Protein backbone atom coordinates (compact mmCIF):
# COMPACT_ATOMS: atom_id res chain seq x y z
CA UNK A 1 0.00 0.00 0.00
CA UNK A 2 1.26 3.45 -0.87
CA UNK A 3 1.93 5.63 2.15
CA UNK A 4 -0.21 8.68 2.92
CA UNK A 5 0.31 11.90 1.01
CA UNK A 6 -0.03 15.24 2.82
CA UNK A 7 0.02 18.76 1.44
CA UNK A 8 2.57 20.87 3.32
CA UNK A 9 2.43 24.66 3.02
CA UNK A 10 5.13 26.99 4.28
CA UNK A 11 3.74 30.53 4.33
CA UNK A 12 6.63 32.96 4.44
CA UNK A 13 7.00 36.71 4.16
CA UNK A 14 8.74 36.32 0.78
CA UNK A 15 7.26 33.16 -0.72
CA UNK A 16 4.43 30.74 -0.09
CA UNK A 17 5.75 27.26 -0.83
CA UNK A 18 3.68 24.13 -1.07
CA UNK A 19 4.24 20.53 -2.01
CA UNK A 20 2.83 17.06 -1.60
CA UNK A 21 4.86 15.17 0.96
CA UNK A 22 5.09 11.40 1.21
CA UNK A 23 4.42 10.58 4.86
CA UNK A 24 6.92 7.77 4.87
CA UNK A 25 9.86 9.06 2.88
CA UNK A 26 9.45 12.83 3.16
CA UNK A 27 9.82 13.08 -0.61
CA UNK A 28 8.33 16.31 -1.96
CA UNK A 29 6.42 16.34 -5.27
CA UNK A 30 4.23 18.89 -7.04
CA UNK A 31 6.32 21.66 -5.53
CA UNK A 32 4.85 25.11 -6.11
CA UNK A 33 6.07 28.48 -4.93
CA UNK A 34 4.40 31.86 -5.30
CA UNK A 35 5.67 35.23 -4.18
CA UNK A 36 3.80 36.52 -1.15
CA UNK A 37 3.80 40.18 -2.17
CA UNK A 38 1.67 39.83 -5.30
CA UNK A 39 -1.05 37.93 -3.45
CA UNK A 40 -0.99 40.61 -0.77
CA UNK A 41 -1.19 43.39 -3.37
CA UNK A 42 -4.19 41.74 -5.03
CA UNK A 43 -6.18 42.52 -1.88
CA UNK A 44 -7.44 38.93 -1.94
CA UNK A 45 -4.71 36.97 -0.24
CA UNK A 46 -6.98 34.27 1.18
CA UNK A 47 -8.72 33.66 -2.18
CA UNK A 48 -5.44 33.38 -4.12
CA UNK A 49 -4.01 31.17 -1.40
CA UNK A 50 -7.08 28.90 -1.49
CA UNK A 51 -6.95 28.79 -5.30
CA UNK A 52 -3.39 27.51 -5.16
CA UNK A 53 -4.48 24.85 -2.65
CA UNK A 54 -7.36 23.91 -5.00
CA UNK A 55 -4.91 23.30 -7.86
CA UNK A 56 -2.76 21.05 -5.67
CA UNK A 57 -5.74 19.11 -4.34
CA UNK A 58 -7.21 18.67 -7.83
CA UNK A 59 -3.93 17.21 -9.07
CA UNK A 60 -3.52 15.02 -5.98
CA UNK A 61 -6.87 13.50 -5.13
CA UNK A 62 -5.44 11.24 -2.42
CA UNK A 63 -4.48 14.21 -0.28
CA UNK A 64 -7.02 14.66 2.52
CA UNK A 65 -4.88 16.52 5.03
CA UNK A 66 -3.15 19.88 4.69
CA UNK A 67 -0.64 21.35 7.14
CA UNK A 68 0.08 25.09 7.10
CA UNK A 69 3.01 26.81 8.84
CA UNK A 70 2.56 30.54 9.52
CA UNK A 71 5.21 33.06 10.57
CA UNK A 72 3.61 34.41 13.74
CA UNK A 73 1.15 33.94 16.56
CA UNK A 74 -1.95 31.78 16.23
CA UNK A 75 -4.93 31.38 18.54
CA UNK A 76 -4.91 28.59 21.07
CA UNK A 77 -7.30 26.41 19.00
CA UNK A 78 -5.00 26.68 15.99
CA UNK A 79 -7.74 27.93 13.68
CA UNK A 80 -7.10 31.69 13.41
CA UNK A 81 -3.83 33.59 12.81
CA UNK A 82 -3.54 36.36 15.43
CA UNK A 83 -0.42 38.33 14.62
CA UNK A 84 1.38 37.59 11.35
CA UNK A 85 3.56 40.66 11.00
CA UNK A 86 4.71 39.75 7.48
CA UNK A 87 1.12 39.31 6.22
CA UNK A 88 -1.04 41.38 8.55
CA UNK A 89 -4.17 40.93 6.39
CA UNK A 90 -4.34 37.40 7.79
CA UNK A 91 -4.70 38.60 11.39
CA UNK A 92 -8.04 37.49 12.75
CA UNK A 93 -9.05 35.64 9.55
CA UNK A 94 -10.81 32.34 10.43
CA UNK A 95 -8.51 30.47 8.07
CA UNK A 96 -9.44 26.91 9.00
CA UNK A 97 -13.18 27.69 8.77
CA UNK A 98 -12.80 29.32 5.36
CA UNK A 99 -10.72 26.48 3.94
CA UNK A 100 -12.93 23.77 5.44
CA UNK A 101 -16.01 25.35 3.84
CA UNK A 102 -14.35 25.39 0.45
CA UNK A 103 -12.80 21.90 0.79
CA UNK A 104 -15.24 20.03 3.03
CA UNK A 105 -13.58 16.61 2.74
CA UNK A 106 -10.10 17.89 3.65
CA UNK A 107 -8.66 18.52 7.11
CA UNK A 108 -6.52 21.62 7.75
CA UNK A 109 -3.91 22.09 10.48
CA UNK A 110 -2.37 25.47 11.36
CA UNK A 111 0.78 26.01 13.37
CA UNK A 112 3.49 28.56 13.96
CA UNK A 113 6.30 27.90 11.47
CA UNK A 114 9.06 27.39 14.06
CA UNK A 115 6.85 24.90 15.87
CA UNK A 116 6.08 23.10 12.62
CA UNK A 117 9.76 22.95 11.65
CA UNK A 118 10.54 21.48 15.06
CA UNK A 119 7.91 18.79 14.59
CA UNK A 120 9.26 18.01 11.12
CA UNK A 121 12.53 16.88 12.66
CA UNK A 122 10.65 14.17 14.50
CA UNK A 123 8.74 12.78 11.55
CA UNK A 124 11.22 13.18 8.73
CA UNK A 125 14.65 12.63 10.21
CA UNK A 126 15.79 9.05 10.33
CA UNK A 127 17.06 7.97 13.76
CA UNK A 128 15.14 10.82 15.37
CA UNK A 129 13.31 8.91 18.02
CA UNK A 130 13.09 11.45 20.81
CA UNK A 131 9.52 12.30 21.67
CA UNK A 132 10.66 15.32 23.66
CA UNK A 133 13.07 17.94 22.45
CA UNK A 134 13.84 21.61 22.34
CA UNK A 135 14.40 23.09 18.90
CA UNK A 136 16.29 26.38 18.67
CA UNK A 137 16.75 28.42 15.50
CA UNK A 138 19.66 30.81 15.27
CA UNK A 139 19.36 33.62 12.73
CA UNK A 140 18.27 37.25 12.69
CA UNK A 141 16.50 36.37 15.92
CA UNK A 142 16.57 33.36 18.18
CA UNK A 143 13.45 31.27 17.77
CA UNK A 144 12.37 28.14 19.47
CA UNK A 145 9.88 25.40 20.00
CA UNK A 146 9.46 22.49 22.37
CA UNK A 147 8.10 19.12 21.35
CA UNK A 148 6.62 17.13 24.22
CA UNK A 149 5.17 13.66 23.56
CA UNK A 150 5.57 14.31 19.83
CA UNK A 151 3.33 17.38 20.09
CA UNK A 152 4.10 21.06 19.88
CA UNK A 153 4.13 22.55 23.38
CA UNK A 154 1.91 25.63 23.18
CA UNK A 155 2.08 26.61 26.85
CA UNK A 156 -0.67 28.46 28.65
CA UNK A 157 -2.05 30.80 26.02
CA UNK A 158 -0.74 29.24 22.82
CA UNK A 159 2.54 31.06 22.25
CA UNK A 160 5.10 29.32 24.42
CA UNK A 161 8.83 29.25 23.73
CA UNK A 162 10.27 32.61 22.94
CA UNK A 163 13.85 31.91 23.93
CA UNK A 164 15.05 34.95 22.00
CA UNK A 165 13.20 37.17 24.46
CA UNK A 166 14.46 35.84 27.77
CA UNK A 167 16.76 38.08 29.82
CA UNK A 168 20.43 37.65 28.96
CA UNK A 169 23.57 39.70 29.62
CA UNK A 170 24.01 43.48 29.56
CA UNK A 171 20.35 44.20 30.24
CA UNK A 172 19.42 42.72 26.85
CA UNK A 173 17.25 39.82 25.79
CA UNK A 174 19.06 36.86 24.26
CA UNK A 175 18.46 37.66 20.60
CA UNK A 176 19.64 41.25 21.06
CA UNK A 177 22.95 39.71 22.17
CA UNK A 178 23.39 36.82 19.74
CA UNK A 179 21.13 37.63 16.79
CA UNK A 180 22.84 37.97 13.40
CA UNK A 181 23.22 41.75 13.43
CA UNK A 182 24.31 41.82 17.07
CA UNK A 183 27.06 39.27 16.71
CA UNK A 184 28.42 41.08 13.66
CA UNK A 185 28.43 44.31 15.67
CA UNK A 186 30.24 42.48 18.43
CA UNK A 187 32.86 41.24 15.96
CA UNK A 188 33.42 44.76 14.67
CA UNK A 189 33.63 46.10 18.22
CA UNK A 190 36.15 43.51 19.39
CA UNK A 191 38.22 43.62 16.17
CA UNK A 192 40.86 45.90 17.70
CA UNK A 193 41.64 43.43 20.51
CA UNK A 194 42.73 40.94 17.88
CA UNK A 195 44.99 43.12 15.74
CA UNK A 196 47.40 40.85 13.92
CA UNK A 197 45.58 37.75 15.07
CA UNK A 198 42.61 37.90 12.74
CA UNK A 199 42.05 37.85 9.01
CA UNK A 200 38.74 39.64 9.43
CA UNK A 201 38.79 43.22 8.24
CA UNK A 202 37.53 46.16 10.25
CA UNK A 203 35.85 47.90 7.33
CA UNK A 204 32.38 46.74 8.39
CA UNK A 205 32.24 43.91 5.85
CA UNK A 206 32.34 41.01 8.28
CA UNK A 207 29.56 38.54 7.44
CA UNK A 208 28.31 35.56 9.41
CA UNK A 209 29.49 33.28 6.59
CA UNK A 210 32.89 34.94 6.87
CA UNK A 211 32.90 34.43 10.63
CA UNK A 212 32.16 30.73 10.22
CA UNK A 213 34.83 30.33 7.52
CA UNK A 214 37.39 32.21 9.62
CA UNK A 215 36.61 30.05 12.67
CA UNK A 216 37.18 26.96 10.54
CA UNK A 217 40.70 28.26 9.88
CA UNK A 218 41.33 28.98 13.55
CA UNK A 219 40.92 32.75 13.40
CA UNK A 220 41.18 34.08 16.97
CA UNK A 221 38.54 36.81 16.65
CA UNK A 222 36.03 34.50 14.99
CA UNK A 223 36.55 31.82 17.62
CA UNK A 224 36.16 34.40 20.41
CA UNK A 225 32.87 35.65 18.97
CA UNK A 226 31.40 32.18 18.60
CA UNK A 227 32.57 31.32 22.11
CA UNK A 228 30.72 34.35 23.46
CA UNK A 229 27.60 33.38 21.51
CA UNK A 230 27.91 29.83 22.84
CA UNK A 231 28.18 30.99 26.45
CA UNK A 232 25.02 33.05 26.28
CA UNK A 233 23.16 30.36 24.36
CA UNK A 234 24.36 27.75 26.85
CA UNK A 235 22.97 29.68 29.82
CA UNK A 236 19.62 30.00 28.06
CA UNK A 237 19.56 26.28 27.27
CA UNK A 238 20.15 25.47 30.95
CA UNK A 239 17.17 27.63 31.84
CA UNK A 240 14.94 25.87 29.30
CA UNK A 241 16.08 22.41 30.41
CA UNK A 242 15.30 23.26 34.04
CA UNK A 243 11.87 24.64 33.25
CA UNK A 244 10.80 22.00 30.71
CA UNK A 245 12.76 18.90 31.85
CA UNK A 246 13.69 18.10 28.27
CA UNK A 247 17.13 16.67 27.61
CA UNK A 248 17.43 16.63 23.82
CA UNK A 249 18.23 19.89 22.07
CA UNK A 250 18.38 20.56 18.33
CA UNK A 251 20.00 23.66 16.90
CA UNK A 252 18.76 24.85 13.50
CA UNK A 253 18.45 28.06 11.51
CA UNK A 254 20.93 29.80 9.21
CA UNK A 255 23.49 30.48 11.92
CA UNK A 256 23.62 26.84 12.97
CA UNK A 257 26.46 26.69 10.43
CA UNK A 258 28.52 27.88 13.42
CA UNK A 259 27.51 24.79 15.42
CA UNK A 260 31.02 23.34 15.78
CA UNK A 261 32.40 26.67 17.01
CA UNK A 262 29.72 27.53 19.55
CA UNK A 263 29.49 24.04 21.06
CA UNK A 264 32.65 24.10 23.22
CA UNK A 265 31.26 27.13 25.09
CA UNK A 266 27.73 25.70 25.18
CA UNK A 267 29.08 22.50 26.74
CA UNK A 268 31.12 24.45 29.25
CA UNK A 269 27.98 26.20 30.49
CA UNK A 270 25.91 23.01 30.59
CA UNK A 271 28.64 21.39 32.61
CA UNK A 272 28.87 24.35 34.98
CA UNK A 273 25.16 24.66 35.76
CA UNK A 274 23.55 21.26 35.47
CA UNK A 275 23.34 18.34 37.92
CA UNK A 276 23.90 14.65 37.05
CA UNK A 277 20.16 13.97 36.54
CA UNK A 278 20.38 16.14 33.41
CA UNK A 279 23.99 15.72 32.37
CA UNK A 280 23.88 11.97 32.05
CA UNK A 281 21.41 12.09 29.18
CA UNK A 282 21.58 15.60 27.73
CA UNK A 283 22.43 15.89 24.04
CA UNK A 284 22.78 18.92 21.80
CA UNK A 285 22.84 18.22 18.07
CA UNK A 286 22.47 20.12 14.85
CA UNK A 287 19.05 20.02 13.17
CA UNK A 288 19.12 18.31 9.81
CA UNK A 289 16.21 19.25 7.55
CA UNK A 290 17.78 22.48 6.27
CA UNK A 291 15.98 24.26 3.44
CA UNK A 292 12.98 21.94 3.38
CA UNK A 293 12.36 22.29 7.12
CA UNK A 294 9.41 24.64 6.67
CA UNK A 295 7.51 22.58 4.11
CA UNK A 296 8.20 19.22 5.73
CA UNK A 297 7.36 20.70 9.11
CA UNK A 298 4.00 21.89 7.80
CA UNK A 299 3.28 18.42 6.38
CA UNK A 300 4.18 16.85 9.72
CA UNK A 301 1.21 18.65 11.28
CA UNK A 302 -0.97 16.08 9.48
CA UNK A 303 0.38 13.08 11.37
Exactly one of 173, 206, 222, 233 binds a copy of itself (CB under 8 A); that residue is: 173
Does 245 bind a copy of itself (CB under 8 A)? Our answer is: yes
Exactly one of 29, 41, 97, 155 binds a copy of itself (CB under 8 A); that residue is: 155
CA distance 52 to 263: 42
CA distance 273 to 231: 12
Helical H runs in the chain? Answer: 36-41, 45-59, 95-102, 113-124, 175-178, 180-190, 208-216, 220-244, 259-273, 276-279, 293-300
For 158, 219, 302, the CA distances from 249, given in Å and listed in that order, are: 21, 27, 23
Does 276 bind a copy of itself (CB under 8 A)? Our answer is: no
Exactly one of 27, 165, 176, 190 binds a copy of itself (CB under 8 A); that residue is: 165
Q: How many CB atoms lie within 10 A of CB 145?
A: 28
Q: Report the residue number, 40 or 150, with the smaller CB distance to a copy of itself.
A: 150
Exactly one of 37, 54, 55, 243 binds a copy of itself (CB under 8 A); that residue is: 243
- Contact region with a copy of itself (CB under 8 A), list: 24-32, 63-71, 157-165, 187-195: 157-165
What is the closest distance, in whole angstroms, from the C-beta atom of residue 70 to a copy of itself in the complex?
16
Does 86 bind a copy of itself (CB under 8 A)? Our answer is: no
Does 167 bind a copy of itself (CB under 8 A)? Our answer is: yes
Q: Report the residue number, 80 or 244, with the smaller CB distance to a copy of itself.
A: 244
- Contact region with a copy of itself (CB under 8 A), list: 121-129, 163-171, 201-209, 286-294: 163-171
Does 166 bind a copy of itself (CB under 8 A)? Our answer is: yes
What Rg value do the Cα atoms of the chain yield, rounded?
A: 21
Which among 87, 83, 49 has a CA at the least distance from the CA of 66?
49
Q: Tell me, rounded to whole angstroms, the distance of Cα 198 from its chain centroid.
A: 32
Q: How many CB atoms lie within 10 A of CB 273?
A: 16
Does 227 bind a copy of itself (CB under 8 A)? Our answer is: no
Binding residues (CB under 8 A) for a copy of itself: these are 73, 83, 132-133, 146, 148, 154-163, 165-167, 171, 173, 235, 238-240, 242-247, 272-273, 275, 277
Amino acid sequence: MASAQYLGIDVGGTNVKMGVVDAKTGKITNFYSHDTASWRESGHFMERFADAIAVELYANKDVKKVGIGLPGMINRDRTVPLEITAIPELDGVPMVDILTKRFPDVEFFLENDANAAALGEFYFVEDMNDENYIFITLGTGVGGAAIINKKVFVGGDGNAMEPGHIPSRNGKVLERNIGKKELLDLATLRRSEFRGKTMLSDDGTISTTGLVAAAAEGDALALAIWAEVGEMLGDALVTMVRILDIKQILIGGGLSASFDYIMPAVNKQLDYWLTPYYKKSLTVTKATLGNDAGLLGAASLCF
